[in-house]
Amino acid sequence: MSEQLTLALSKGRILEATLPRLAAAGITPTVDPESSRQLIIGTSRPDLRLLVLRATDVPTFVAYGAADLGVAGKDVLLEHGGRDLYEPLDLGIAGCRMAIAGCPGALAAAQHRPLRVATKFEAIARDHFARRGRQIEIVKLYGSMELAPIVGLADVIVDLVDTGNTLAANGLETFETIQSISARLVVNKAAQKLDNARVRELIAAFEAPDQTVGAP
Ligand code: AMP
């Protein structure tokens, strides 16, 4: 058993939403993770440290045991595949949905040929359309997915939608929601077995955010 538990957090909106949950459990970082350049951050709890990572790297760090626990979006977990990870808790934060969208009429126009799908979420898109028996061709992108249907790069996109403002601003419509997305707490399977009491205590702290961890 290592001396410190390591919790991996995703930069950006998940970090923003997770910090108040930690604070409610009496856990505060020793420096501000949103502005600090430190990659490993101590906390008010001597046996807990934080790693602040790019969202897509969180499942990898936890799966290999470089972090015992992590907070990551369900989108990132589905893309990763979730091997060697337990997912004990839906934190109900950073909520949005994974959707198929495009220019009006795009699905009908592509009815008799493989659908060209632009996305960063290749595994989610492939899995969804395979279950539908719909042949597709993936155009892998890393950002600004909304542009692809407008300039004719793809028939549709598979992307995260929050308010829907980005789609509306670009004249796109949602054809289907693939699934709801939120941030999840994930745990390394070995850490869950070997360090069970401390891991369970931290899971409980996330579950009941009004209780200070270690309080009598
Ligand atoms: P919205 O205009 O509020 O629907 O937001 C859509 C844009 O924000 C898209 O470009 C998405 O890729 C991105 N987005 C929405 N929700 C999330 C999220 N939970 N994590 C990361 N990016 C997101």
Q: Is 157 in the pocket of ligand 1 (CB under 6 A)?
A: no
β strands within the chain, DSSP E: 5-10, 40-42, 48-53, 69-73, 85-90, 96-102, 115-119, 136-140, 156-161, 173-181, 183-188
Confidence grade of residue 2 (pLDDT, cut at 50, 70, 90)? low
Q: What SS3 class is residue 160?
A: strand
Domains 5-94+182-207 and 96-180 share a fold: yes
Q: How many residues does the chain have?
A: 216
**CATH architecture of structural domain 96-180:** 3-Layer(aba) Sandwich (3.40)
How confident is the model over 73-104, as pLDDT tens digits? 999 999 999 888 999 999 999 999 999 999 99
- Residue nearest to ligand 1 atom 5, measured at CA: 162
Higher pLDDT pick, 42 / 3: 42
Q: Where are the domains of the chain?
A: 5-94+182-207, 96-180
pLDDT digits (tens, 9 = 90+) for 107-126: 999 999 999 999 999 999 99
What is the model's pTM? 0.92
Q: Is 35 in the pocket of ligand 1 (CB under 6 A)?
A: no
Q: What's the CA-to-centroid distance between 36 and ligand 1, angstroms?
A: 24
Q: Is 98 in the pocket of ligand 1 (CB under 6 A)?
A: no
Whether ligand 1 lies within 6 angstroms of the CB of 127 is answered as: no
Mean pLDDT of the region 202-210? 80
What type of residue is 95? G
Question: Residue 197: phi, psi to the nearest 5?
Answer: -65, -45
Instruction: Say which CATH class 5-94+182-207 falls into.
Output: alpha beta
Q: Is 162 in the pocket of ligand 1 (CB under 6 A)?
A: yes
- Strands 85-90 and 183-188, sheet pairing: antiparallel
Question: Does ligand 1 have an atom closer than 6 angstroms to the CB of 94?
Answer: yes
Scanning the structure block, which residue is given the tokens 């009941």? 208
21 three-class SS: helix
Joined tokens for residue 174: 């949602």
State the average pLDDT over residues 177-200: 93
Q: What is the DSSP letter of 29?
A: B
- Mean pLDDT value across residues 139-155: 97
